[in-house]
């Protein structure tokens, strides 16, 4: 096996740290706008991880869609509503405690499950891109074997677009 | 790096990252009081799933592109979801003047 | 598609077309309903004639693949079919379902107020007929369960829509009781299929003996597995579960309370349909799956069945004696009959099983006839209570005559279907449980007591207070002749020439308990 | 040919059922009488040429398990004699009814029922197996029910009809059980198979075998006869059944249907012969019935009730004979009794008809002059019933008494003698009250008149038979009927049972004959002394002297009251309890269950906060639990 502290491994470690730090920050900030920015950090970290794993196209898409579009959209939404909103300091209610315990236990269990299994480590000899660049290979697959899901997703996007416009429209009856 | 070559990162570590991310997202979704942040937390959970998909695309038993393509679909659907979700939020905000989850409760008028 | 499948498809189609009719067009719905019932009757006659030469085995089968549940059990797929067919056991009961449904459709279509909620009336009756015919025609478990549920839903809506006064709430009781019954029946029957495939036993032995999970009823019936594949404990629990379902479905004491509650208020054609065939589905399922798949459990729990049977006979008889009106009397008389049915099954003999089968038919015909006639009395006189009736013979001789015929059939007079059913049931039960049978004989005396008491109060004597008010009431009308004549003729035909049923039931009874011959 | 004997009445029934309402009275009556007459002619031919006893013609009727049940006709000397009696009396009664029922608005319905009855009765006596016999047995019961309740608008008639059916049904249930048990033990409903099985050593069921089973089954079968032939303790229905039209009483409740019980015991005689206990039971029940009914008959005021109790008493006589093993004598008494008892009812009907429906004896009197034919035929029947030499009743009754004494049943002989005395007394009490003396009710008397020829001809024919029927079994002729009946022994009809087992035959004893004759004459004399001309005060004095005994007899030993207050009341209470249980207890359990569901829903509603995030917490915890379980178990399945 390869040495434990290879360049890849170090990169992964740093990226993970960044992602988790951003996520925890999101939880702990109280101003909504900061939270949105912290999430943007998580998205970018994930994009870096994808690129590290050789999925350049997905990584770029992640940056464009998540870090770009979605984060901006969220910021817009915050601005359109009460942008001064803060999460109030909240006492530990039973529900919150239960949620914390539940999530913690769930995470611990999942980690145990992950530890308990022997995972495959991929097959170095196989080229997932079949000799092409990653973008080209994904394009081939999307327009050949995933034609119909692709079209359906486009339809879904259109519907979502139209729906979002209609929902967000100011209606006559409203002030 | 490209499509070939060994990846030394242990699969388990990436999955563990996904799991932790998922749990953080879940916690956020369950406890945040602002509806926007609940939506954001859900995006976090979707991302955790995506991490797993991409990891298996490269490190699964028979590596292929399906995982990556799936994660693309996920990203698309997530985008659609957040668009509709935020639109709903705006609509609700106009009526109720609030984005607090607790106040959006039809059971207790 | 086979003839039997059409018998389900035709009323179903009629019902589906009716859904899309405008509410004004209840005349069209009526015509559709009548034509479809007539067609199913013709189909039944065809199947009857075509299969008469070789009664054993399944006839007029047809099967359409429906869907597949992949890799469901031990690596094999489970193919679910939409399949129909009848064998010597189900053919006569299936024909009864067709006949009663047709008669009910006729009665619903010729009622004075047939335009009232006309579309819904025929819609639910068509769908219900398809369901109840399907119960007896299905040869696939999934098809059967769909048919059971369709019957349940239709019965609920019919009772809910066509009951008077407070009795409408009884529809909910029917829904809860029979809904729960469906749950138990489904669990028990699917459990049996699972058990026959080795689900509760030694999977390797099961695999060696070729047991597979199948929903195909003929295949299930032909699967013989030993105790290591299907352990006795599992069999027992499944049988008891089935029995629980059957008791609720059949309205047997002590799980019967929905039945009198429903019949107390429903219109007469609803009662005819419910009492004539819908309450007989449980009995059929007990014979088909209880006795057919788990004959050893029938023997094992025979004493329990026998006791429950005797309790039903006596409780039903005494409650009928204590009844204040015809509806309640007919209801409990039918419960009392089905108690004898249980006793016949409990005997685990061919004679007893044959008697039980005869009882399904006989009780169905007689209950339907009596509900219809009692409804006729009520429609004319305005009451069905004994304390207000009396002296009907003088102004309504024909109605009284047929009422008497029905009552005599129900009390088991020879040359009616009641007698031949009873004696066969007793021929079986006296072999296995002589003591219980002697007690059950009391039911024969009591049935004479309560039915003749009712006749004396209704048709004999001086005209009661209610009758005097309606002196001008007409006797049987032209439309009423049809159900009355058909049902009476069937009661007498079975009584005078029982071979007409025995031709089928004799081989069926022999095959059922796997005791030969 | 045998099929046509019941066949013609069936055809007549079908015609009257379908078109009877539109036909005129004479046509309806004509069809019925003709059909029965043809049956009578055929029965006579059968009587003269019975062929091989036990011959069966039958169709396959039903297969139960592996038992093939047939439906057919069986001929034998016994059956032929029964068919002869039934068809003869039926023909005469149907003819008589034409006059008696004239003008009734349901005239055709009456004939419809009667045709059905004749068909069923003939089918009963010609049945080829037990199940078929039971079927016809119930059918005649049905006809009896319908005819007793023929005047349904009278509440007493409706009650009597119901009572007759239910009381006989109690007995029939015993017969039903007996038949089923015989089938279980022998595997067949056929008489010969049953008899053979009963004689074989291996006869039995798992829980009872051998003589115990035979006794049980024989007593169950006898229970059927007890109900149908109105034997103690199920005799209470027959007197009430007199609410029906009088010709019906003559045909069904005197000559034929009530004798079916006697026929049944005779038919099953090889079975009874195997069990001493069963025979003893039959004899004693017969004896008790004969005496009890005769004692009740002494004081009744209704002319038909007296004759009805007389019928019960005479049926008890026949049962005594059968119980004593004198098969032929029992049937012989059935034969003669059918004629003179039918005649008694017809003459009583004639009297009632003449008096416009009056049945109270103490409003009659002096009718001898007004109704000469009725008077003389009644007298013939009364003398026959009393057992006066040389009328028919003398021979048959004397044969029975002889058999009792010779068979060692001393007590029963005494019972028989007392009954004979009472019989002679009450029937002549009737005669003197109705026909002798002066009219007690002038208004009724003035309108009295003889019926038309349709009513008198049957009376005369039966009168001749009442006088002469007994001569066919006198020692002078060498007991032809006895020999005829015992011709069945040793044939397949009785499964080869020998004549000795079937029926004991005793030579006449002149001394015993004289004793019974003297007893009968004493009875007549007492009646003449008490009720003859200028004797009314003596009867009243005797009644007051007897005091409570008189009242017990008048109130029929209070049996109706005892049944009413015990069995009937208990049943009604149980019915009320069952109804109440169902309406209140079980319904409230159901109600309670529904309330509990509501309560559970109310409680669970507290969990529904409407906060999505609360639901999410629960879901997360649930997910954790599921994954933990999967992990610990090491797999999903």
Closest-CA distance of chain D to residue C205, Å: 20
Q: Is the pLDDT of residue A83 over 70?
A: no
Is B75 in contact with A62 (Cβ distance < 8 A)? yes
Average pLDDT over residues D362-367: 80
Chain segment C365-420, per-residue pLDDT in tens: 999 999 999 998 888 888 888 888 888 887 888 888 899 999 999 998 988 999 99
Q: How confident is the model at residue D476 (pLDDT cuts 50, 70, 90)?
A: confident
CA gap C196, C225 in Å, rounded? 7
Average pLDDT on D298-324 reads: 90
- Which pLDDT belongs to residue D637? 47
Phi and psi angles of residue A120, each rounded to the nearest 5 degrees, phi first: -65, 155
Residue D162: which of C394, C437, C456 has the nearest Cβ? Answer: C456
Chains D and A share 3 or more Cβ pairs within 8 Å: yes
A119–B59 CB contact, under 8 Å: yes
pLDDT at D478 over 80: no
Task: Name the residue among D139, D166, D575 with its Cβ closest to that of C448.
Answer: D166
The counts of H helices and E strands in chain A are 7, 0
The tokens 């942040």 sit on which residue? B37
Residue D282 — pLDDT band, cuts 50, 70, 90?
very high
* D574 touching chain C per CB within 8 A: yes
* pLDDT confidence band for D626 (50 / 70 / 90): confident
Closest alpha carbon within chain B to D615: B30
Q: How far apart are CA C499 and CA D187, in angstroms?
A: 19
Which segment of C282-296, D178-192, D202-216 scores lowest on mean pLDDT?
D202-216
Q: Are D66 and D188 in contact (CB under 8 A)?
A: no
- Please report which confidence band the pLDDT of residue D589 belongs to, taking 50, 70 and 90 as the band edges: confident
Q: Is the dihedral of CA C189, C194, C197, C199 positive or negative?
A: negative
Q: Which residue of B has its CA nearest to D618?
A: B30
Contact D627 A116 (CB under 8 A): no
Chain D residues with CB under 8 Å of C426 CB are: 176-177, 180
- Give the tens place of pLDDT for each residue, D394-427: 888 888 888 888 888 888 999 999 999 999 999 9
Q: What are phi and psi of D416, to 5 degrees?
A: -60, -40
Is the Cβ–Cβ distance between C211 and C196 less than 8 Å?
yes
Min Cα–Cα distance to chain D from B61, Å: 20
What is the distance of C-alpha D165 from the center of its chain? 10
Q: What is the pLDDT of residue C24?
A: 85
Predicted confidence (pLDDT) at residue B75 exceeds the cutoff of 60: yes
C111 in contact with D, Cβ within 8 Å? no
3-state SS, residue D527: helix
- So what's the ipTM on this one? 0.73
- Going D573 to D579 to D584 to D590, the CA torsion angle's sign is positive
Contacts of B72 in chain A (CB under 8 A): 57-58, 61, 138, 142
pLDDT category at C317 given cuts 50, 70, 90 is very high
For the segment C190-201, what is each residue's pLDDT rounded down to a tens digit? 899 888 888 787
User: Which distant-in-sequence residues (6+ apart) come within 8 Å of C433 by Cβ?
Assistant: C302, C303, C306, C343, C346, C347
Q: How many residues does chain C have?
A: 517
Give all chains having 3 or more CB-to-CB distances under 8 Å with chain B.
A, D
What average pLDDT does range D218-228 have in this prediction? 92
* CB of D68 less than 8 A from some CB of C: no
What per-residue string of b and e applies to C327-361 under the rule 16 or more CB within 10 Å gives b?
bbbbbbbbbbbbbbbbbbbbbbbbbbbbbbbbbbb
% of chain D exceeding 90 in pLDDT = 23
Judging contacts by C-beta atoms under 8 Å, the chain C residues touching residue D183 are 427
Q: Are D142 and C449 a contacting pair at CB < 8 A?
A: no
pLDDT for res C467 = 67
Q: Is the pLDDT of residue A2 over 60?
A: no
Contact C434/D at CB under 8 A: yes
Selected residues 6-65 of chain A with any CB under 8 Å from a CB in chain D: none
pLDDT band for position D350 (cuts 50, 70, 90): confident
Nearest to C461 among D61, D137, D155 (CB): D155
Q: How confident is the model at residue C516 (pLDDT cuts 50, 70, 90)?
A: very low
Lowest mean pLDDT among A56-60, D262-266, D479-483: D479-483
Percent of chain C with pLDDT over 90: 51
Closest chain D residue by Cα to residue B32: D613
Across the interface, whether the CB atoms of B24 and A24 are under 8 A apart is answered yes
Q: Are C and A neighbours with ≥3 CB pairs closer than 8 A?
A: no
**Residue partners of A41: CB distance under 8 A and separation at least 6:** A18, A19, A21, A22, A25
CA distance C328 to chain D (A): 10
Q: Does the structure show a pLDDT above 70 at C168? A: no
- Band the pLDDT of C153: cuts 50, 70, 90: very high
Q: How far apart are CA D330 and CA D322, in angstroms?
A: 6
d(CA C199, CA C211): 10
D604 interfacial to chain B (CB closer than 8 Å): no
Q: How do residues C236-260 score in pLDDT, each as one tens digit?
A: 999 999 999 999 998 888 888 889 8
Q: Do A74 and B36 touch (CB under 8 A)?
A: yes
3-state secondary structure chain B: CCCCCCCCCCHHHHHHHHHHHHHHHHHHHHHCCEHHHHHHHHHHHHHHHHHHHHHHHHHCCCCCCHHHHHHHHHHHHHHHHHHHHHHHHHHHHHHHCCCEHHHCCCCCC
Query: pLDDT tens for residues A25-73?
Result: 988 888 888 888 899 999 999 999 999 988 889 999 999 998 888 888 8
Residues contacting C56, CB < 8 A, separation 6+? C87, C88, C507, C508, C511
- pTM score, whole prediction: 0.81
User: In sequence order, which residues have a C-beta less than 8 Å from that of residue A109 and are 6 or more positions away?
Assistant: D624, D627, D628, D631
Q: What is the dihedral of CA D274, D275, D276, D277, to 10 degrees?
A: -170
What is the rounded distance in angstroms from the CA atom of residue D37 to the CA atom of residue D47? 15
Mutation for testing the B interface, residue in D605, D608, D616, D622 having most B CBs under 10 Å: D616
Q: Looking at C409-418, D126-135, D470-479, which range is the least confident one?
A: D470-479
Beta carbons within 10 angstroms of residue C6's beta carbon: 21
Query: Residue for token digits 């509709």?
Result: B84
Give the pLDDT score at C368.
Answer: 95
Q: Measure in Å the smallest separation between the Cα of D636 and chain A Cα atoms.
A: 13
Establish whether chain A is in contact with chain B, requiring a minimum of 3 CB pairs below 8 angstroms: yes
B104 vs D53, more confident: D53
Which residues of chain D are within 8 Å of residue B106 when distances are taken between CB atoms? Answer: 610
CB contact under 8 A, A99 and D627: no
Whether chain C has a CB inside 8 Å of the CB on D61: the answer is yes
Of the candidates D392, D427, D449, D403, the residue with the CA atom closest to the CA atom of residue D531:
D427
CB within 8 Å of C268: residues ≥ 6 apart: C107, C111, C371, C372, C374, C375, C376, C378, C379
Of B101, B102, B107, the CB nearest to D608: B107
With both helix axes pointing from N to C terminus, report the angle between D276-297 and D303-323 in degrees, rounded to the nearest 10.
Answer: 160
In 10 A of CB B81, how many CB atoms?
A: 17
Residue D388 DSSP label: -
Nearest chain D residue to A97 by CA distance is D617
Mean per-residue pLDDT, A101-124: 86
Q: pLDDT tens digit string along C21-73?
A: 888 888 899 999 999 999 999 999 999 898 888 888 888 888 888 888 877 77
Give the SS3 label for residue C20: coil
Longest dimension (CA), chain D: 116
C322 to chain D: which residues are within 8 Å by CB? 575-580
Whether residue B105 and residue D611 make contact (CB cut-off 8 A), yes or no, is: yes
- Mark yes or no for CB contact D155/C462 under 8 Å: yes
| Residue D499 confidence (pLDDT) | 67
Q: Are C168 and C160 in contact (CB under 8 A)?
A: yes
d(CA A105, CA A128): 36
Instruction: Tell me how crowded residue A121 is: count the other CB atoms within 10 A of its CB.
Output: 18
């Amino acid at each position: 096996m390869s040495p434990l502290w290879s360049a890849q491994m170090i990169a992964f470690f740093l990226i993970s740290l960044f992602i988790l730090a951003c996520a925890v920050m999101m939880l702990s900030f109280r101003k909504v706008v900061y939270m949105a920015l912290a999430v943007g950090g998580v998205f970018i970290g994930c994009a870096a991880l994808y690129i590290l794993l050789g999925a350049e196209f997905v990584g770029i898409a992640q940056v464009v869609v998540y870090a770009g579009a979605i984060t901006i959209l969220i910021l817009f939404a915050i601005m359109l509503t009460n942008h001064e909103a803060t999460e109030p300091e909240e006492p530990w209610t039973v529900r919150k405690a239960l949620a914390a315990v539940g999530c913690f236990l769930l995470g611990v269990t999942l980690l145990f499950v992950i530890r308990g299994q022997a995972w495959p480590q991929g097959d170095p000899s196989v080229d997932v891109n079949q000799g092409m660049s990653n973008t080209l290979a994904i394009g081939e697959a999307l327009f050949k074997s995933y034609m119909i899901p692709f079209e359906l997703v486009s339809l879904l996007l259109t519907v979502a677009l139209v729906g979002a416009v209609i929902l967000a429209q100011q209606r006559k009856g409203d002030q | 790096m490209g499509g070939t070559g060994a990846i030394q990162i242990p699969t388990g570590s990436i999955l563990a990252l996904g799991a932790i991310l998922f749990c953080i997202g879940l916690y956020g979704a369950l406890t945040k009081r602002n509806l926007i942040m609940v939506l954001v937390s859900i995006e976090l959970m979707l991302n955790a799933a995506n991490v797993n998909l991409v990891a298996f695309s490269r490190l699964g038993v028979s590596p292929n592109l399906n995982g990556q393509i799936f994660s693309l679909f996920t990203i698309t659907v997530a985008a659609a979801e957040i668009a509709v979700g935020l639109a709903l939020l705006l609509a609700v905000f106009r009526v109720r003047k609030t984005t607090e989850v607790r106040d959006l409760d039809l059971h207790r008028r | 598609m086979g003839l039997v499948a059409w018998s389900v498809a035709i009323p179903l189609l009629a019902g589906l077309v009716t859904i899309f009719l405008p509410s004004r067009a209840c005349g069209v719905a009526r015509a559709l309903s009548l034509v479809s019932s007539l067609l199913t009757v013709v189909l039944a006659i065809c199947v009857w004639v075509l299969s008469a030469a070789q009664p054993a085995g399944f006839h007029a089968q047809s099967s359409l693949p429906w869907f597949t549940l992949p890799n469901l059990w031990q690596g094999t797929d489970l193919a679910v079919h939409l399949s129909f067919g009848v064998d010597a056991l189900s053919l006569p009961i299936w024909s009864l379902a067709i006949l009663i449904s047709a008669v009910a459709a006729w009665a619903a279509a010729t009622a004075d107020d047939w335009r009232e909620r006309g579309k819904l009336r025929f819609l639910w009756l068509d769908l219900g007929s398809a369901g109840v015919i399907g119960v007896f025609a299905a040869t696939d478990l999934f098809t059967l369960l769909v048919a059971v549920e369709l019957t349940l839903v239709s019965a609920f809506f019919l009772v809910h829509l066509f009951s008077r006064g407070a009795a409408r709430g009884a529809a909910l009781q029917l829904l809860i009781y029979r809904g729960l019954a469906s749950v138990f029946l489904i669990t028990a029957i699917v459990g049996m299929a699972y058990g026959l495939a080795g689900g509760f036993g030694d999977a390797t032995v099961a695999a060696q003996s070729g047991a597979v999970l199948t929903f195909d009823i003929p295949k299930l019936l032909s699967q013989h597995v030993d105790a290591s594949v299907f352990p006795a404990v599992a069999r027992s629990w499944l049988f008891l579960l089935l029995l629980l379902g059957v008791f609720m479905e059949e309205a047997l004491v002590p799980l019967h309370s929905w039945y009198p509650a429903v019949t107390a208020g429903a219109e007469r054609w609803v009662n005819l349909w419910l009492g004539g065939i819908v309450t007989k589905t449980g009995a059929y399922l007990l014979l088909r799956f209880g006795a057919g798949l788990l004959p050893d459990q029938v023997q094992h729990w025979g004493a329990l069945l026998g006791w429950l049977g005797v309790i039903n006979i006596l409780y039903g008889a005494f409650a009928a004696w204590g009844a204040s009106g015809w509806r309640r009397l007919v209801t409990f008389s039918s419960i009392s009959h089905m108690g004898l049915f249980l006793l016949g099954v409990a005997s685990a003999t061919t004679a007893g099983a044959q008697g039980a089968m005869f009882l399904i038919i006989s009780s169905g015909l007689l209950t339907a006839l009596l509900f219809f006639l009692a409804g006729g009395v009520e429609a004319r006189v305005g009451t069905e209570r004994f304390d207000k009736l009396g002296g009907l013979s003088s102004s309504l001789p024909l109605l009284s005559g047929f009422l008497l015929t029905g009552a005599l059939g129900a009390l088991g007079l020879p040359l009616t279907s009641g007698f031949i059913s009873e004696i066969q049931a007793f021929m079986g039960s006296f072999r296995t449980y002589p003591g219980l049978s002697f007690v059950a004989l009391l039911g024969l005396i009591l049935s004479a007591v309560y039915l003749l008491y009712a006749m004396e109060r209704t048709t004999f004597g001086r005209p009661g207070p209610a009758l005097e008010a309606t002196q001008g009431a007409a006797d049987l009308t032209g439309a009423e002749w049809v159900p009355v004549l058909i049902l009476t003729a069937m009661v007498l035909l079975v009584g005078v020439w029982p071979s007409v049923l025995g031709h089928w039931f004799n081989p069926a009874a022999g095959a059922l308990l796997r005791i030969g011959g | 040919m045998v099929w046509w004997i019941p066949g013609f009445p069936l055809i007549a029934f079908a015609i009257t059922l379908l078109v009877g309402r539109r036909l005129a009275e004479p046509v309806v009556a004509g069809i019925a009488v003709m059909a029965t007459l043809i049956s009578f002619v055929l029965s006579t031919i059968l009587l003269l040429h019975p062929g091989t006893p036990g011959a069966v013609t039958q169709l396959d009727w039903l297969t139960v398990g592996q038992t093939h049940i047939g439906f057919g006709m069986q001929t034998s000397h016994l059956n032929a004699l029964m068919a002869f009696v039934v068809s003869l009396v039926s023909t005469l009664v149907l003819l008589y009814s034409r006059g008696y029922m004239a003008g009734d608005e349901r005239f055709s319905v009456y004939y419809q029922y009667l045709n059905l009855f004749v068909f069923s009765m003939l089918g009963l006596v010609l049945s080829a197996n037990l199940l078929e016999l039971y079927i016809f047995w119930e059918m005649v019961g049905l006809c009896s029910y319908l005819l007793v309740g023929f005047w349904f608008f009278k509440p007493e008639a409706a009650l009597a009809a119901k009572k007759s059916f239910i009381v006989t049904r109690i007995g029939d249930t015993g017969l039903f059980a007996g038949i089923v048990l015989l089938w279980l033990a022998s595997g067949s409903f056929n008489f010969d198979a049953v008899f053979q099985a009963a004689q074989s050593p291996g006869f039995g069921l798992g829980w009872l075998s051998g003589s115990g089973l035979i006794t049980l089954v024989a007593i169950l079968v006898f229970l059927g006869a007890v109900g149908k032939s109105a034997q103690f303790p199920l005799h209470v229905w027959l007197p009430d059944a007199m609410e029906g039209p009088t010709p019906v009483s003559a045909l069904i409740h005197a000559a034929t249907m009530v004798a079916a019980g006697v026929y049944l015991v005779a038919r099953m005689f090889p079975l009874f012969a195997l069990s001493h206990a069963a025979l003893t039971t039959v004899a004693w029940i017969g004896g008790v019935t004969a005496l009890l009914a005769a004692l009740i008959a002494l004081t009744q005021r209704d002319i038909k009730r007296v004759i009805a109790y007389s019928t019960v008493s005479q049926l008890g006589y026949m049962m005594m004979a059968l119980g004593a093993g004198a098969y032929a004598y029992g049937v012989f008494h059935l034969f003669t009794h059918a004629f003179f008892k039918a005649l008694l009812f017809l003459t009583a009907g004639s009297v009632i008809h003449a008096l416009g429906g009056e049945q109270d004896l103490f409003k009659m009197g002096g009718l001898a002059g007004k109704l000469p034919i009725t008077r003389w035929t009644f007298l013939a029947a009364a003398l026959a019933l009393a057992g006066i030499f040389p009328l028919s009743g003398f021979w048959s009754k004397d044969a029975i008494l002889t058999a009792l004494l010779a068979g060692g049943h001393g007590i029963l002989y005494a019972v028989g003698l007392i009954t004979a005395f009472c019989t002679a007394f009450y029937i002549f009490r009737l005669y003197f009250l109705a026909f002798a003396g002066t009219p007690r009710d002038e208004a009724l008397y003035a309108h009295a008149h003889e019926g038309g020829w349709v009513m008198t001809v049957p009376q005369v024919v039966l009168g001749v038979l009442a006088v002469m029927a007994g001569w066919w079994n006198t020692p002078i002729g060498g007991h032809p009927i006895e020999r005829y009946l015992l011709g069945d022994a040793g044939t397949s009809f009785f499964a080869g049972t020998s004549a000795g087992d079937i029926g004991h035959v005793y030579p006449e004893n002149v001394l015993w004959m004289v004793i019974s004759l003297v007893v009968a004459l004493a009875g007549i004399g007492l009646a003449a002394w008490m009720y003859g001309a200028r004797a009314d005060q003596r009867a009243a004095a005797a009644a007051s002297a007897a005091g409570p005994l008189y009242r017990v007899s008048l109130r029929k030993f209070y049996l109706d009251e005892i049944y009413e207050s015990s069995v009937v009341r208990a049943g009604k209470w149980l019915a009320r309890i069952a109804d109440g249980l169902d309406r209140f207890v079980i319904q409230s359990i159901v109600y309670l269950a529904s309330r509990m569901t509501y309560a559970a829903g109310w409680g669970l509603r507290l969990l529904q906060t409407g906060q999505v995030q609360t639901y999410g917490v629960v879901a997360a915890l649930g997910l954790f639990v599921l994954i933990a379980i999967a992990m610990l178990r090491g797999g999903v399945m």
